[in-house]
């Protein structure tokens, strides 16, 4: 079996553009992947056709280890763009293998570790401005069956925060905790906004609200600062969504700079590399909760990883808080039900791209705002009016 064709499909989904990949083989099988990357979707698409395509055409999709490792070795410059191109292609290769074997991908990655998987909601706070707005929307998240939720209460903070800004962030968290009760998990997303000092001060203010974790409190580029924050606070620290190589994760895990590791299979090399990262974490009792903030194919692939990996305990979900047509972009199973993910059971990933619907929602330039200027607040809080 050889790969004979590579196609890409770029489509808009509100705040994000999704880039899907489809590989075809000489025996009639196809496999889909996703290589979406905020602000760089067209750049990734160009790289896929300019460089990855020549490396993948003629390859046997069963040879994932050598094909992907050679691309990772040969891409030379590194970084999120090329690693996303490689990752999306690797996911499509797994889809082909699963179809060729007549098995869902999770069975090829180690088999079932659980029947259902808890999910935490993300993206749910679009339209929230005041603490009461956040609380009202949080109440609906619980009504939808979720046992946990993640949110960023820090506005457009960068490194420093005034007392007024810290008071506002704490008030949002306090109001949500009061509204949802003590049994709902709260993950605080910081987006790497803060200096170590402010992250620690803010974390100590939030301790009383029983956080599930405090995510990316400082820049992802400094393990020293992350470890400083982790050592100073009594609740779990999560990090890893902006690391792109297995070597970076080895350093993070060895330093024990986080309690929850968050590799993104669509950016860090694909499913097999993510399994290796999880195995390193498992050996030292660190849990894994993959990052996945992009489209339905990436989510589907991540779920196959989740169901086959013992040290995964929860998976984030943007799917119910995206545009209304998100599920129309693909054919296949809808995995979420009452805040939990169901086990996939179709061969391969169990999903395919609906290219006709993708074409109805063409690419839009720079739809995802910077998280550090007022456009972030305006665009995200107004997204419901645009849908």
Query: Active-site positions?
Result: 191, 291
| Dihedral Cα 166, 288, 95, 120, nearest 10 deg | -50
Asked if residue 27 lies in contact with residue 1, where contact means CB atoms within 8 angstroms, the answer is: yes
Classify residue 239 by burial, with Cβ atoms within 10 Å: 0-12, 13-18, 19+.
Answer: buried
Pairing label, strands 213-215, 340-342: unpaired
| Dihedral Cα 39, 45, 51, 57, nearest 10 deg | 150
CA angle 160, 164, 168 (to 5 degrees): 100
| Dihedral Cα 118, 119, 120, 123, nearest 10 deg | -170
The Cα 263–Cα 244 span in angstroms is 8
Q: Quick one: how far is CA 12 from the chain centroid?
A: 18
**Residue 71 φ/ψ, nearest 5 degrees:** -65, -45
Q: How many CA atoms lie within 13 A of 256 on its CB side?
A: 6
Q: How many CA atoms lie within 13 A of 7 on its CB side?
A: 10
Pairing label, strands 148-151, 351-353: unpaired
The Cα 115–Cα 132 span in angstroms is 36
**Residue 11 vs residues 14, 119, 138, 294: alpha-carbon distances, Å:** 10, 26, 29, 12
The Cα 46–Cα 50 span in angstroms is 6
154 in helix, strand or coil? coil
CA angle 43, 45, 49 (to 5 degrees): 115
């Amino acid at each position: 079996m050889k790969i004979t064709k590579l196609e890409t499909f770029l489509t808009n989904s509100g705040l994000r553009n999704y880039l899907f990949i489809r590989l075809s083989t000489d025996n009639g099988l196809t496999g889909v992947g996703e290589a979406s990357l905020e602000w760089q979707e067209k750049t990734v698409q160009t790289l896929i056709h300019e460089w990855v395509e020549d490396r993948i055409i003629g390859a046997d999709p069963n040879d994932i280890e050598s094909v992907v490792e050679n691309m990772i070795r040969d891409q030379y410059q590194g970084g999120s763009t090329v690693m996303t191109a490689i990752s999306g292609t690797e996911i499509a290769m797994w889809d082909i293998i699963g179809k060729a074997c007549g098995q869902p991908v999770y069975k090829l990655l180690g088999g079932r570790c659980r029947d259902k998987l808890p999910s935490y909601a993300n993206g749910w706070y679009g339209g929230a401005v005041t603490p009461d707005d956040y609380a009202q929307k949080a109440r609906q998240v619980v009504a939808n069956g979720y046992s946990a939720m993640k949110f960023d209460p820090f506005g457009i903070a960068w490194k420093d925060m005034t007392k007024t800004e810290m008071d506002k962030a704490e008030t949002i968290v306090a109001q949500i905790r009061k509204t949802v009760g003590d049994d709902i998990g709260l993950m605080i997303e910081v987006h790497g906004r803060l200096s170590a000092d402010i992250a620690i001060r803010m974390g100590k203010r939030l301790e009383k609200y029983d956080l599930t974790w405090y995510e990316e409190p400082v820049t992802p580029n400094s393990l020293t600062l992350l470890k400083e924050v982790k050592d100073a606070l009594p609740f779990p620290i999560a990090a890893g969504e902006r690391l792109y190589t297995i070597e970076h994760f080895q350093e993070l895990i060895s330093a024990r700079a986080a309690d929850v590791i968050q590799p993104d299979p669509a950016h860090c090399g694909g499913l097999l590399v993510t399994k290796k990262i999880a195995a390193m974490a498992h050996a030292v009792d660190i849990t894994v909760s993959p990052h996945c903030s992009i489209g339905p194919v990436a989510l589907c692939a991540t779920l196959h990883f989740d169901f086959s990996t013992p040290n995964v305990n929860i998976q984030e979900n943007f799917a119910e808080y995206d545009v209304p047509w998100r599920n129309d972009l693909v054919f296949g199973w809808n995995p979420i039900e009452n805040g939990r993910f169901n086990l996939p059971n179709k061969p391969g990933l169990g999903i395919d791209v609906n290219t006709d619907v993708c074409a109805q929602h063409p690419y839009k330039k720079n739809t995802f705002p910077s998280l550090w200027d007022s456009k972030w607040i305006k665009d995200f809080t107004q997204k419901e009016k645009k849908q």
